[in-house]
Chain A
Amino acid sequence: MSRFDLTDGDVVVVIGSGAGGGTMAHELTRRGLKVVLFEAGRRQTLASFSQNPSEAYGQLTWLEPRTQSGSWDPVKNSPNQPAWHCKTVGGTTVHWTGATPRLQRYEMQARTAYGDVPGTSLADWPIEYEELKRWYQVAEKRLCVTRRNGNPGMPASNNFKVMYNGARRIGYKRVHTNYLAINSRAQDGRGLCIQQGFCLQGCKTAAKWSTLYTEIPRAEATGNLDLRTECFVTRIEHDAAGRANGVVYRDAAGLEQRQKARFICVAGNAVETARLLLLSESARFPRGLANSSDQVGRNYCHHLTAFVWGIFDQPVHATRGVVLGGVVEDENVHDPRRGFVGGYHLELASMDLPTLPLVGLGYGWGREFASIMDNFRNMAGILINGEDMPRPDNRITLSKSLKDAYGLPVAHVNCDEHPNDVALRRHAQRQAQKLYESVGAKRTVLSASPPATHQMGTARMSADPQHGVTNPHGRTHDVSNLFISDGSVQTTAGAANPTLTIVSLVLRQADHISREITAGRL
Chain B
Amino acid sequence: MGEKQHHDEHTLTEFSMKSTREQPAMPGANPLAESVASGRRRFVQGVTAVLSGVVLGLGRAWAIDMHVFSADQSATLLAMIHTIAPHDGLDEAAYALVAAALDADAAASAQTRELMTAGLTGLGLEFARADEDVRVAKLKALEAAPPQTAAGPPGGAGFFQAVRIKTLLVLYNNPIAWTHFGYEGEAFSKGGYLLRGFNDLKWLPEVPLDASGPMPV
A and B from one complex: yes
Looking across the interface, which residue of chain B has its beta carbon closest to that of A59?
B24
Bound CA span A161–B212, Å: 10
Q: Which residue in B172, B204, B214 is a CB contact (below 8 Å) of A165? A: B204
Looking across the interface, which residue of chain A has its beta carbon closest to that of B207?
A156
Bound CA span A205–B28, Å: 29
**Interface locus among B70-78, B98-106, B107-115, B189-197:** B189-197
Residues of A contacting B181 with CB < 8 Å? Answer: 353, 373-374, 376-377
CB interface residues, B 163-217, toward A, < 8 Å: 164, 167-169, 172-173, 177-178, 181-189, 191-194, 196-201, 203-207, 210-216
Q: Is the C-beta of B30 less than 8 angstroms from some C-beta in chain A?
A: yes
Looking across the interface, which residue of chain A has its beta carbon closest to that of B186?
A51
Looking across the interface, which residue of chain A has its beta carbon closest to that of B197?
A320
Bound CA span A494–B100, Å: 46
Q: Is the C-beta of B63 less than 8 angstroms from some C-beta in chain A?
A: no
CB atoms of A155 and B27 under 8 A apart: no
B7–chain A nearest beta-carbon distance, Å: 14
Main secondary structure, interface of B, reads: loop
Looking across the interface, which residue of chain A has its beta carbon closest to that of B171?
A357
A365 with B28: in contact, given A315-B201, A317-B182, A377-B181 (CB under 8 Å)? no
A449–chain B nearest beta-carbon distance, Å: 11
Bound CA span A78–B181, Å: 25
CB atoms of B26 and A57 under 8 A apart: yes
CB atoms of B183 and A376 under 8 A apart: yes
A77 with B28: in contact, given A157-B199, A161-B199, A162-B204 (CB under 8 Å)? yes
Residues of B contacting A65 with CB < 8 Å? Answer: 30, 33
CB interface residues, A 44-96, toward B, < 8 Å: 51-55, 57-58, 61, 63, 65, 74, 77-81, 84
Q: How big is the B interface, by class?
A: 35 or more
Residues of B contacting A175 with CB < 8 Å? Answer: 211
Q: Is the C-beta of A498 less than 8 angstroms from some C-beta in chain B?
A: no
CB atoms of B178 and A353 under 8 A apart: yes
A1–chain B nearest beta-carbon distance, Å: 28
Looking across the interface, which residue of chain B has its beta carbon closest to that of A356?
B172
CB atoms of A320 and B28 under 8 A apart: no
Residues of B contacting A374 with CB < 8 Å? Answer: 87, 181
Residues of A contacting B187 with CB < 8 Å? Answer: 194-198, 320
CB interface residues, A 151-167, toward B, < 8 Å: 152-158, 160-162, 164-165
CB atoms of B204 and A358 under 8 A apart: no
Residues of A contacting B213 with CB < 8 Å? Answer: 146-147, 152-156, 177, 184
A193–chain B nearest beta-carbon distance, Å: 8
Interface size, chain A (Cβ < 8 Å): 72
A32–chain B nearest beta-carbon distance, Å: 38
Q: Is the C-beta of A332 less than 8 angstroms from some C-beta in chain B?
A: no
CB atoms of B199 and A194 under 8 A apart: no
Looking across the interface, which residue of chain A has its beta carbon closest to that of B189?
A51
Q: Is the C-beta of A316 less than 8 angstroms from some C-beta in chain B?
A: yes
Q: Is the C-beta of A451 less than 8 angstroms from some C-beta in chain B?
A: yes
Given contacts A359-B26, A450-B27, 5 further A-B contacts (CB under 8 A): A155-B214, A158-B198, A319-B183, A357-B172, A366-B139
Interface set of B (CB-CB < 8 Å, partner A)? 23-31, 33, 83-87, 136, 139, 164, 167-169, 172-173, 177-178, 181-189, 191-194, 196-201, 203-207, 210-216
Interface set of A (CB-CB < 8 Å, partner B)? 51-55, 57-58, 61, 63, 65, 74, 77-81, 84, 146-147, 152-158, 160-162, 164-165, 175-177, 184-185, 192-198, 204-205, 314-317, 319-321, 352-359, 365-367, 369-370, 373-374, 376-377, 439, 450-451
